[in-house]
């Protein structure tokens, strides 16, 4: 979907100020819910700051403890919205936006366990628990789109929050920043079970006809090309529930509501340049 600079600014205004429903109805039917990141060209940005002094329309959004509105839940301050920046630009400015599905782009961590547990079922918790699980979900779905057969999630409750638990899949940014990079490193038929953990720490790690049911960790330096395939099965890592009130556990674990019990894994490190193949035989 493409808009002219003026149309794009109008969409931002419609989304957040809801003016002129007649104009609103003329615009395309697909809208983003929030502007989360801004990418600015430095030259025009400096010019605009010189003209405006960085001034953006401000507002106050108090958060009260209860309906009596006699005391604040947190400090009240002047705020402004970063997405209002395009409103200061001239009609000739090049302004556009990219819309992404929520699972790929939005998983804030801002609620403590107690507040998150009070969120009605079906609404986002925005906690350390849901934020971490969202990473595993996003990475799993990215691999699905790249052609990997990833087993679906199970529902579990941590700190009073029911979340989807996908395979715990993570990778260093150097392994893949774009979808095309990731897709190029997935070859033939690969599968990952729900209980699996996969950690990829290297630029040139290729998954080729891999069947993973357990935990796999690959470390490689730049210049080491590693092809990982075959059937890998072990006891893996378990996600074990803990309570945020349990002071015997470190705080960084309590706010998550779980810890990782590393029972068994296959871990390989490639510290020299070259070409390598990891293909265990069952």
pLDDT tens for the chain, 282 residues long, are 333 333 333 333 333 333 344 444 555 555 555 666 778 888 888 998 999 898 888 899 888 889 999 888 888 888 888 778 888 888 888 888 777 888 988 899 999 999 999 999 889 999 999 999 999 999 999 999 999 999 999 999 999 999 999 999 999 999 999 999 999 999 999 999 999 999 999 999 999 999 999 999 999 999 999 999 999 999 999 999 999 999 999 999 999 999 999 999 999 999 999 999 999 865
Q: Going by DSSP bridges, is the β-strand pair 205-213/215-220 parallel, antiparallel, or unpaired? A: unpaired
Which class for 59: exposed (0-12), middle (13-18), buried (19 or more C-beta within 10 A)? exposed
Residue 83: its pLDDT value, please? 77
Residue 28: its pLDDT value, please? 53
Q: Going by DSSP bridges, is the β-strand pair 186-187/205-213 parallel, antiparallel, or unpaired? A: parallel
The model's pTM: 0.76
Whole-number Å distance between alpha carbons of 268 and 282: 17
- The per-residue DSSP string of 123-144 comes to S---BHHHHHHHHHHHHHHHHH
Q: Which two tokens stand for residue 63?
A: 């958060």
Residues 6+ apart with CB under 8 A from 270: 202, 218, 219, 220, 221, 224, 226, 276
* Domains assigned to the chain: 1-99 (no CATH), 102-282 (2.160.10.30)
User: Phi first, then psi: what are they for 278, rounded to 5°?
Assistant: -115, 110
Residues 6+ apart with CB under 8 A from 265: 197, 214, 215, 216, 217, 234, 236, 237
Its sign, for the CA torsion 10, 12, 18, 21, is positive
Whole-number Å distance between alpha carbons of 117 and 129: 10
State whether residue 45 is helix, strand or coil: helix
Residue 32: its pLDDT value, please? 56
Q: Which two tokens stand for residue 129?
A: 């628990």
């Amino acid at each position: 979907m493409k808009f002219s600079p003026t149309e794009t600014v109008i969409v931002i205004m419609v989304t957040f100020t809801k003016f002129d429903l007649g104009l609103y109805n003329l615009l395309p039917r697909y809208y983003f819910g929030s502007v989360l990141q801004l990418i600015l060209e430095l030259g025009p940005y400096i010019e605009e700051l010189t003209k405006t002094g960085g001034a953006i329309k401000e507002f106050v959004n108090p958060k009260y403890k209860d309906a009596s509105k006699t005391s604040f839940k947190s400090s009240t301050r002047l705020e402004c919205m970063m997405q209002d920046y395009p409103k200061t630009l001239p009609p000739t400015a090049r302004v556009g936006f990219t819309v992404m599905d929520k699972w790929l782009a939005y998983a804030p961590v801002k609620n403590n366990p107690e507040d998150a547990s009070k969120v009605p079922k079906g609404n986002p918790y925005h906690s350390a628990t849901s934020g971490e699980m969202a990473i595993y979900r996003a990475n799993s779905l990215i691999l699905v789109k790249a052609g990997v057969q990833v087993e679906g999630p199970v529902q579990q409750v941590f700190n009073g929050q029911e979340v989807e638990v996908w395979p715990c899949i993570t990778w260093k940014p150097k392994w893949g920043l774009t979808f095309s990079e990731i897709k190029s490193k997935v070859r033939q038929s690969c599968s990952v079970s729900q209980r699996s953990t996969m950690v990829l720490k290297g630029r040139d790690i290729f998954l080729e006809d891999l069947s993973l049911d357990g935990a796999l960790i690959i470390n490689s330096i730049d210049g080491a090309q590693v092809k990982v395939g075959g059937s890998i099965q072990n006891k893996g890592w378990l996600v074990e529930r803990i309570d945020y009130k349990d002071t015997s556990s470190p705080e960084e674990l309590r706010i998550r509501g779980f810890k990782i019990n590393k029972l068994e894994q296959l871990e390989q490190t490639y510290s020299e340049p070259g070409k390598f193949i990891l293909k265990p035989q069952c």
